[in-house]
Amino acid sequence: MVLQPAIPTLEALNTKNETRVDNVFCSETLTGKITRCYVDPKLRPPLTDHYAIITEIDLLLETAPQRPKRNWRKTEWDVFLADFINAMDKLAEPTEITTIEEFDTRLKNAGRNHMGNNRQARTVNQDPGDLWSSRKALPAC
């Protein structure tokens, strides 16, 4: 029980007797996160006999570290595509692709390898407003 014992949670309207009829329960996991639990008679709404029970819970979450993101808008696409084609030419001799999944996998891997080596694509976007400041059209394929 989170609310300490012997704290009244109700005042009878007619007799003004204070009693403890309300309890506050929570799981063991959440118990360690509760910083305070108390009754505040001043916050009782009019014509009610129950006091307000205030429970404060520490819900701070750890945030994941921010990873740098590629800023594709700063990429010179003509240079990028020429480098990509050059990198594809340097691959081993072509082999027959027998399934769609194999084709997808090879294309994704080739693209990922090239993107990891491309300096322009590695430019980190620090300012979210920068996304809209310079728009460039993609070259026709």
pLDDT tens across the length of the chain (141 residues): 788 888 888 888 889 888 888 888 888 888 888 899 999 989 988 888 889 899 998 888 888 887 777 777 777 788 878 877 887 777 777 788 899 998 888 888 776 766 665 555 555 545 555 444 555 555 555
For the chain, how are helix, strand and coil distributed in percent, rounded to 5? 35, 15, 55
Query: 141 lies in a domain?
Result: no
Q: What is the DSSP code (8-state) at residue 135?
A: -
Q: In whole angstroms, what is the distance from residue 91 CA to residue 89 CA?
A: 6
pLDDT value, residue 140: 54
What's the pLDDT score for residue 23?
83
Q: How many domains does the chain have?
A: 2
Q: Classify residue 138: in a domain, yes or no.
A: no
**How would you label 96-133 residue by residue, b for 16+ Cβ within 10 Å and e otherwise?**
eeeeeeeeeeeeeeeeeebeeebeebebeeeeeeeeee
Domain-embedded: residue 17:
yes
pTM of the model: 0.43
pLDDT for residue 101: 92
- In the chain, the N- to C-terminal Cα span, in Å, equals 67
Q: What is the pLDDT of residue 124?
A: 54
pLDDT at 61: 80
Comparing CA positions, the residue from 5, 36, 44, 34 lying closest to residue 22 is 5
* Within-domain flag for 62: no
Cβ–Cβ under 8 Å, residues 20 and 9 = yes
Specify the pLDDT at position 98.
Answer: 92
Q: Both 114 and 85 in a single domain? A: yes
- Whether residue 80 is contained in a domain is answered as yes
Residues 35 and 80 in one domain: no
Rounded Cα–Cα distance for residues 59 and 38 (Å): 18
* Domain, as residue range, for 102: 72-129
Residues 92, 44 share a domain: no
